[in-house]
A and B are shown apart, each in its own frame.
Chain A
Amino acid sequence: MNEIKNHRVINFALSFIYLGLVSFFTEHLPLPFIAMLSVLCGWNIYLTVKQKQKPNAWFANGLAAIALIIMLSSIGFKDTVVLFVAMLLLSCVFKLLQAKSKQHYQLIITLTFFSLSAVYLFSQTIFTTLVISTFYILNFAVLGLLESSHSLKLSSKQSAKIMLLAFPLAVILLLFLPKLPAFWQLPGPKMAQTGLSEQVDPFDIAKLSNSDELVFRAKFNGTPPPTPYYWRAIVHDEFDGAAWKTSSFLKQALILPAKKSTSENEAQYTVIAEPAISDWLYGLGFSSSESPNVIANTLGLLRKQQYKSKVLQYAVNSEPLSSTSLNKSQQRFYSQLTVSNNQKSQQLAQQLKNNSANADEFFNQLLSYFSKNEFSYTLTPTPMRGENTLDQFMFTNKRGFCGHYASAAAFIFRSAGIPARVVSGYLGGELNKNSDYMTIRQYDAHAWVEVYTGAGWKIFDATAVVAPERLNGSLSQSTTLNDEFKNNINFGLVSLSNYAAINWLRLELENLDYQWSSWVLGFDKDKQQDLFATLFGNKFIWLVPLGVIIILILSFTTYFIYLNRPKAATKQPPLVNEYYEIIRWANKHAISYPENATPTQTLEHISNQAPHAEQQLTAFCELFKQVRYARHPFTKERKNQAKDLIKLIKSTKQRNL
């Protein structure tokens, strides 16, 4: 059977799936390519709806060649994973445009199972999972349609049913099959870049990140340390006149792994970081981690080793920054300035230095300078251009956000010969009261200064005096900046958090998402072992694979028996089954009766030949007549009467024997 009966539905459903798939890649693939794929899908839908011929092979192949050129020129060869996904999508969409035979469709549908999984490389949210699961069911339904002439609805129902049956088994496999380590290293997909950057140049942006995208979540073991929480991610040590950068020297130094911390003053917590292109991770103060895939470096920063595309969960130990000390050359390194612009700021630094005896005093003087000179915090600063942007900020505008304050302060510290560096990361976070974890979002991004005052590194944050409420909690909770913040942020649930119901909904959804990240996406080897240990104890770990095999075999056998169960007999009218029971009894005792007689005639024949049961048989015959012909209702009493009569008929025979 090679012809397909549901040509149009199949075409339509597959185009729809690919259109949906393409929409998931809008962030990761270049726009021209996305547009091209959408147009191809749309074209296929148009051809299907209008019942037109598919393009011939030559035309389609020519078109495919052009599409390939567009793809390679817009994507390039840098990111192999994206290239691979793009090629997969392109080939499937083109194959669909040309597909005519059953074999073609089978090829497309099998490849679609792979394309669907590829989406999970880039996004693993609950929403994505729901949509992709629906597509899985739909794809299966289409596979079923190739073989039958059902409607799509019936086919989807069957497909959903088999998926539902397979679901618990797959869950068991996922939970209990030992987690294998990666066979080989594959390049991870590059994620769209949002949030922090390696270069802090606040002056070329007029607006701070307006994204409410989740960056990471943190859950403290035991009591959380006191606020404020400065989540460090990147250290910038070099000022090029306009922006603070991470020097290549520091980048080299960052590779060195840190010594194990021994301090008792540690905060312990777990971080679940969302997938991101960057390799930095987040920690408070001087952080170290023993989790696999995480490297801690000499600056107390954490870095990813691999799996950038994955939600990464790691445990962190943090100790205060002050415990590290610098040697002479390091002090020189952190206090050098290679540029000589922003003269006014340098003069301010000299002036403050003259008034203060040591670095600590300078620190306080600069802080009070920011608080006394009418500086204000804003999310929408006036853009500043030219040579001396720091001077413009310090003496003319006096309005800015963290980046402005940090850049200026670090410059002033260095001008005074005090070792200082700009650190970017996130500040605060929103505490979810139900599950006791912090949520840190893109809009919590922050930059501050770390100053070395002889007794270790200290955090200098001008925001603390300009907008003190920013220090505790998240930006979304800050009251004075609330309006500005909400105007700034993209429309979303956060922007509607003034309404109690919506805020509740938002927090509940967030909680759900947290559980999802922590339990589904973050279910790794460690968690599996914990699960085994709690379920079976450490002694019986070896039982696990055996148990899995037994469960699988049992489930398959049950399913098999269920499939081959004797089908329930079709429901008979009242007393018919009872009548047959008497017939069987008669057959068993070799009582003959005419073959083509009515039931009452048959019963009479039987009763004539079985005089010992004649009374009961006549009674049954009466009952039969009443119920079947006189339309007396078949009540419970009559039913019981029939049962009793049959019992009596059977027993009389036995007694007489």
Chain B
Amino acid sequence: MRIYKFKRPTFILDIKSAILKALLKNKHKKNSITLKHNTIYVLPSTLGVYFSVVASLNFVMGINYQNNLILFMAYLMFVIIIFALLLGYSNARGLTVSFKYAIESFSPQAPQLVWQIEAADPCQSITLSYPNDLKNACYITRVKNEAIKCQLSLPYTKRGCYQIKPIKIASNYPFGLVNVWSYIQPNKVVYVYPSIIKTTNQKHQNLVANNTDEGTEKHKGDDEFESLITHLPEMGLQRISWKHYAKTQQLLVKQFSDFKSADAQFDFNLVTGDSEQRLGQLCFLVCQAFESDINYSLKLPNKLIASNSGKLHHQRCLQALSQVGNDNE
């Protein structure tokens, strides 16, 4: 029941996280956790504390007026608080939270973590939240026999690479009188890619758009006729060019070729603007290249990614872009 909001000084938060780190050891550094006695923490919530205060007030009133009914109500409240602690623990016990994968994002969008939540026994009111970010917490009313998937947004909107902090699995069941919680910390890094800036930089644009055969490598393919070669027995009869046979009485085979575009090279030094702008433009180029499925390499101030194509390469490039300047993280 926080009515007056005040901001806690940062050193308290630091101390808190240091204590947590020391206490939790590595119990929660897993990709999947099933809550049980040594990983569940139970304490009365703020409401629970207020509830106990009212119970004590009732007790004092009952004693002072020697009123059995008020006294009874006070005892009832005390018993219920203890029941709530037991209920809260039992509710969370057996809950399994597993980290599935991360959805990385372009700044200023926040990356998301995808979780799967299962429970042996029905489990109510579960909240997954990232430290200091209750706003985006992910709330699940009830987990029954089926597994539930949920997405948790992380509070990272700036370009970068972030180690995931311990994520709180909490429940206020029952009546919000207790806080039952645990942590899970997958050993995983999430990236926030630079925000995309459209660029018309000619040098790179040309490279992407240039599909002429000038200076490009030819691959065997079926787009363009290239030459006639002698038929070999293993080639099969269907490939023989009967037109040429009719003219020349030679068994010839048509050879075709693809024009594979030239490898694009995206260079940090070739785009203009400050470093964030440059990264944004590179990001745009990399994505465009990925969509057009061409080979590209990426040259960054202290890193060179060799030419390649495909999804993994694309991801590697984007991750490299997000890490520029903060390699320490």
> Which residues of A come within 8 Å of B, CB atoms?
1-2, 103, 106-107, 110-111, 113-114, 116-118, 120-121, 124, 129, 136, 140, 143-144, 146-149, 158, 162-163, 165-167, 169-171, 173-174, 177, 179-186, 188, 307, 309-310, 520-521, 523-524, 556, 559-560, 563-564, 567
Contact = CB atoms under 8 A, between A and B. Distances in A.
Given A1-B127, A559-B86, A563-B86, A113 B51 contact: yes
B67 A120 contact: yes
Contacts of A174: 68, 71-72, 75
A124 B57 contact: no
B176 A110 contact: no
B300 interface: no
Contacts of B50: 106-107, 110
A18 to B, nearest CB: 16
Given A117-B61, A564-B90, A103 B174 contact: no
Contacts of B71: 174
Nearest to B47: A106
A591 to B, nearest CB: 30
Contact of B75 (A136, A149, A170, A563): A170
B76 A149 contact: no
A117 B83 contact: no
B93 interface: yes
Contacts of B83: 162, 165-166, 556, 559
Given A106-B176, A117-B58, A310-B67, A564 B93 contact: yes
B23 interface: no
A282 to B, nearest CB: 20
B47 A180 contact: no
Interface of B: 1-3, 47, 50-51, 54-55, 57-58, 60-80, 82-83, 86-87, 89-90, 93, 120-121, 124-125, 127, 134, 137, 139, 141, 172-177
A170 B76 contact: yes
Closest 3 CB pairs between A and B?
A563-B90, A170-B75, A166-B79
7 contacts: A103-B3, A118-B61, A146-B176, A163-B76, A169-B75, A556-B86, A559-B83
Given A106-B50, A162-B80, A169-B79, A147 B64 contact: no
With a 10 A CB-CB cut-off, give which of A158, A170, A171, A180 has the most chain B CB atoms: A170
Contacts of B58: 113-114, 117
Contacts of A310: 65-67
A146 B65 CA distance: 33
Contacts of A117: 58, 61-62, 69-70, 73-74
Given A114-B58, A148-B124, A140 B175 contact: yes
A170 B71 CA distance: 9
Nearest to B53: A110
Nearest to B71: A174
B234 to A, nearest CB: 42
A107 B80 CA distance: 18
Contacts of A148: 124-125, 141, 173
Nearest to B77: A113
A158 to B, nearest CB: 7
The binding surface of chain B is classed by DSSP as helix
A188 B175 contact: no
Contacts of B139: 1
With a 10 A CB-CB cut-off, give which of B61, B71, B137, B141 has the most chain A CB atoms: B71
Contacts of A166: 76, 79-80, 83
Contacts of B82: 556
A567 B69 contact: no
Contacts of B63: 180-183
Given A110-B50, A163-B80, A310-B67, 8 more contacts: A103-B2, A114-B58, A117-B62, A117-B74, A136-B73, A182-B66, A563-B90, A564-B93
Contact of A124 (B67, B93, B176): B67
B76 A107 contact: no
Contacts of A559: 83, 86
Nearest to A307: B66
A572 to B, nearest CB: 15
A521 B65 contact: no
A186 B64 contact: yes
A140 B2 CA distance: 20
B46 to A, nearest CB: 8
Given A144-B175, A564-B93, A114 B64 contact: no
A143 B80 contact: no
A469 B75 CA distance: 50
Nearest to B84: A162
Nearest to A559: B86
B172 A110 contact: no
B127 A170 contact: no
Nearest to A158: B174
A307 B79 contact: no
A309 B70 CA distance: 13
B73 A116 contact: yes
B278 to A, nearest CB: 41
Contacts of B75: 169-170, 173-174, 177
Contacts of A118: 61
A188 B65 CA distance: 8
B121 A567 contact: yes
A522 to B, nearest CB: 8
A569 to B, nearest CB: 12
B209 to A, nearest CB: 51
A1 B77 CA distance: 25
B68 A121 contact: no
Contact of A170 (B65, B79, B174): B79
Given A129-B69, A144-B175, A183-B64, A114 B54 contact: yes
A173 B175 CA distance: 23
A523 B68 contact: yes
B66 A113 contact: no
A111 B174 contact: no
A310 B71 CA distance: 13
Contacts of A113: 51, 54-55, 58, 73, 77
A140 B80 CA distance: 10
Nearest to B172: A147
Contacts of A111: 54
A73 to B, nearest CB: 27
Contacts of B54: 110-111, 113-114
B91 to A, nearest CB: 9
Nearest to B37: A564
